[in-house]
Amino acid sequence: MPAILAQVEDQDIAALKKFAYHAGIAFQIKDDLLDVEGDLLVLGKPTQQDLDNNSSTFVTVLGQDGARKEMWEHYCLAAEALREVPRNTAFLKHLLDYLVNRDR
């Protein structure tokens, strides 16, 4: 929405949407991985909740290694989308890095 209000070019908006999509998928995969690999004390919430609830997640479908590989694929696609934006995207790049490297 801010990009639209700032009257950003259509191709830049498309690149930002692509970034948001892939960053969101990477975030979800990392969340699924943290549920399996995370530490209760670090996360501040119980782990293994998806398993206990018999939830379908990236980890249950792809396995931990497959999910991690898929997360990095989406990370790369999101980073690639940022390179298409002719503006300063440093904050979004830092956000993307945080999303996949977080421990909580």
19: Cβ contacts below 8 Å, ≥ 6 apart: 78, 81, 82, 85, 92, 96
- Per DSSP, 3 falls in state H
Length of the chain: 104
pTM for this entry: 0.90
Neighbouring CB atoms inside 10 A of 104's CB total 10
Number of domains in the chain: 1
Residue ranges in the chain modelled with pLDDT below 50: none
Q: What 3-state DSSP class applies to 49? A: helix
From residue 71, alpha-carbon distances to 3, 6, 8, 14, 21 in Å are: 26, 31, 29, 21, 12
Average pLDDT of the chain? 93
Host domain of residue 88? 2-101
